[in-house]
Amino acid sequence: MGAYGATALKTPNMDRLAVGGLRFTNGYAASATCTPSRFALLTGGYPWRNKEAKILPGTAPLLIDTSLVTLPKMLQEQGYRTGIVGKWHLGLGSGRLDWNQPIHPGPNEVGFDYSYILAATQDRVPTVYIENGRVVGLDPADPIWVDYQNNFPRRAYRPRSPGAAEDALGPRPRQQHRQRYFPDRIYEGREKARWVDENMADTFLLKAQAFISAHTRQPFFLYYALQQPHVPRTPHPRFVGVSGLGPRGDAIAEADWCIGELLRTLYEEGVLENTLVLFSSDNGPVLNDGYVDQAVERNGAHRPAGPLRGGKYSLYEAGTRVPFLAYWKGRIRPGVSDALVSQLDLYSSLAALTGSSRRGQDSENLLPVFLGKSHRGRKALVIEASSRTALRKGDWVLIPPYAGPAVHTQVNIELGNSPGYRLFNVRRDIGQKENLAETQPKKLKEMIADYEKISGKKAPEKNTFDFK
């Protein structure tokens, strides 16, 4: 985004939050992929503690234990009305779902008074909205059936949205998505309930605005989980071409507009100066993520990860170090903070803000940091990518040895796998170009000990995997 140095991509409303609030340069998602990060955000616990906290299929059971006091439950206890609008991707139900009946447990059972969601991602079936546990627009005469293991032989592939073109700009999946997520091959029914991809951003925005407007006279908490720029990137026609970077850039421009409209709603409802706005992302950037949308070819001079190494799926910094902003008009003095913070810390920090004694298992109370009154953030943070973990402590990052490919061949991103330890000083070497593991043996030993102590994991032995 522009506030972090982008020049080829315009994000004026995101930048407005950054310029008018506090911009963190060491803000982290808990994971380099979506489901684990969202789990950490809502529970205040590291996702690697839960072996099921990984990218989920559309039919996965609810990942969060309903007995857990989550972030929204904690806020309910403090008198807040809570809502989620947008991408969920934390599972639904307790097993095999009947989508034609009320769907429980889900967001409402983990602390949200109101929910309007897509179950997983835009390319995972069923392609319907779910409002408070019920499929929106469900027609009993056109029931929904989902089966990820068996095809429905009567169905042949069609573009997912009315009028969607199967060309380089359309949502045409590459082989890995073709096998798993083609809706018409694993999904029957839902013609009347089926969403229109290009209208999704507008649909979620209207629901988010309505939630705000309905709760201006009482404390409220809204988790507005935009789906852009997750694949398939299907911006509304009025945003097509505006970025010059293809569908990915256009989807980001659309998301930026949505953020501006949400801020406008807060202003018009008279609650902007009484609302803390926190903005972040669930993982780092990726261009080609399984769809033929020319994200690579039309990227031009834009550098999605800026100076960082890696991206989505990676243990390198670009996997988890993400945009992180705190905005509160009249309360947070605009500026930049290099404090180490994580989305994990929102739980305990918001608990402190609202007077709750609750604390997340791995969440730290950094309320003074988020309000700009202190620059003393976390001392250390365990980061995660696809069940692999690394340690950020102070200016140092330790990546243990992991067997596996060095590069994710489908997305062309370095994963952080290597036969030996990697040690980086990310203040001096933000691009993680110089491995100091051999030249700084004392620091390496110290970081390994800290990694084992904090994570409770035995550091992997040096492996001999041949990456050539």
Please give the Cα distance from 403 to 451 (Å, whole number): 18
Q: The pTM is what?
A: 0.93
* Fold of the 380-455 domain: Arylsulfatase, C-terminal domain (3.30.1120)
Instruction: With cut-offs at 50, 70 and 90, classify the pLDDT of residue 149.
Output: confident
Task: Work out the mean pLDDT of the chain and round it to a whole number.
Answer: 91
If you average pLDDT over residues 429-443, what whole number do you get?
A: 98
* Residue extents of the structural domains in the chain: 2-140+168-175+191-370, 380-455
User: What is the separation of C-alpha 358 from the centre of its chain, rounded to a whole number of angstroms?
Assistant: 24
Q: State the average pLDDT over residues 132-151.
A: 86
CATH topology for 2-140+168-175+191-370 is Alkaline Phosphatase, subunit A (3.40.720)
pLDDT tens-place string over residues 44-94: 999 999 999 999 988 899 999 999 999 999 999 999 999 999 999 999 999
The pLDDT of residue 466: 36
Neighbours of 126 (CB within 10 A): 26
